[in-house]
């Protein structure tokens, strides 16, 4: 007797939790001879780390080794053998997460607030409702730490993001000032009611002389953190669409060049 599993899509080779970095607004002031492109790459690589750095979590307990007692025979034929060391169930919170800046399709994620057991680093095989959804790698986790994992995409929940083009001749476009914005349309294409979390961002000033004024933010987000990451949460019926509109102005000294990365 054998069981065959058929899948309509190819599971992803690697699935990582989506991360939305802040949109850092800073002055362009490179060293002599350095191009704008190289300076932008440097700002982009260093700013999110500096802005989002968090204290290392305290590890309460770690797994260093494990002993398993049992009876059986391991044939010495040189072939790899898998041995089950144990199993346990984690209770966590699942969500459908949409970040249109990273992908039109939403992610399925799961978060465990406090691990009851320590976890060793290694490769993890992921599945949703018994169907393979991909693989990922985890670091070492101690008991009591938070674990967040992505279980692949949910292509029936789609978000499209379009920039809002300022009106030509606007008095807010010029040296020392600019305006920008976007409209997001979120669609629940499933045949059931879904709770969808949507994330996007506003510019994060890196200098005191840079100011950000929000002129339109509809609907109001559920949360706006210190990095100006915006979070909405929608209860969506089958086929329902939600629209989010964000407009903002950025002012800065007229003798400076502004970059946003």
Query: Does 129 reside within a domain?
Result: no
Q: State pLDDT tens for residues 142-164.
A: 999 999 988 888 999 999 999 98
Q: How many other CB atoms are there within 10 angstroms of residue 253's CB atom?
A: 13
Q: How many domains does the chain have?
A: 1
Query: Does 13 reside within a domain?
Result: no
Q: What is the pLDDT of residue 41?
A: 57
Tell me the two tokens of residue 257. Answer: 């060049």
Query: Does 243 reside within a domain?
Result: yes
Rounded CA gap, 261 and 258, in Å?
10
Q: State pLDDT tens for residues 73-127.
A: 666 777 777 777 777 788 889 999 999 999 999 999 999 999 988 888 888 888 8
Query: Does 172 reside within a domain?
Result: yes
Query: Does 239 reside within a domain?
Result: yes
Query: Does 124 reside within a domain?
Result: no
Looking at every residue in the chain, the average pLDDT score rounds to 81
pTM of the model: 0.73
Q: Is the pLDDT of residue 56 over 80?
A: no
Instruction: Tell me the C-alpha to C-alpha distance, in Å, between residue 180 and each of 102, 123, 166, 183.
Output: 19, 42, 7, 11
Q: What is the pLDDT of residue 53?
A: 43
Instruction: Tell me the C-alpha to C-alpha distance, in Å, between residue 190 and each of 129, 185, 187, 226.
Output: 16, 16, 9, 33
Residue-number span of the structural domain to which 210 is assigned: 23-29+36-45+93-109+154-260
Tell me the two tokens of residue 157. Answer: 């929940």
Query: Does 160 reside within a domain?
Result: yes
211-215-219-224 Cα dihedral, nearest 10 degrees = 10
CATH number assigned to the domain comprising residue 165: 2.60.40
Query: Does 6 reside within a domain?
Result: no
Q: What is the pLDDT of residue 138?
A: 86
């Amino acid at each position: 007797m054998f069981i065959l599993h058929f899948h309509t899509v190819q599971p992803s080779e690697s699935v990582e939790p989506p991360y939305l970095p802040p949109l850092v607004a800073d002055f362009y002031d490179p060293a002599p001879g350095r191009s704008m492109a190289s300076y932008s790459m440097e700002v982009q690589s260093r700013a999110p780390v500096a802005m989002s750095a968090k204290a290392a979590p305290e590890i309460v307990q770690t797994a260093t080794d494990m002993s398993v007692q049992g009876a059986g025979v391991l044939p010495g034929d040189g072939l790899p053998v898998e041995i089950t060391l144990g199993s346990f169930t984690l209770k966590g919170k699942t969500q459908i997460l949409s970040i249109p800046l990273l992908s039109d399709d939403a992610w399925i994620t799961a978060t465990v607030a406090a691990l009851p057991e320590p976890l060793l680093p290694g490769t993890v095989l992921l599945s949703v409702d018994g169907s393979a959804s991909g693989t990922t790698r985890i670091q070492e986790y101690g008991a009591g730490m938070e674990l967040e994992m992505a279980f692949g995409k949910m292509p029936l929940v789609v978000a499209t993001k379009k920039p809002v083009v300022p009106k030509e001749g606007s008095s807010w476009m010029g040296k020392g000032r600019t305006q920008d914005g976007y409209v997001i349309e979120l669609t629940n294409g499933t045949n059931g009611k879904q709770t969808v979390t949507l994330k996007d961002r506003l510019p994060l000033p890196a200098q005191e002389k840079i100011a950000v004024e929000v002129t339109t933010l509809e609907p109001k987000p559920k949360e706006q953190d210190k990095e100006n990451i915006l979070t909405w949460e929608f209860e969506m019926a089958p086929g329902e669409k939600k629209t989010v509109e964000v407009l903002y102005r950025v002012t800065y000294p007229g003798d400076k060049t502004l970059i946003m990365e």
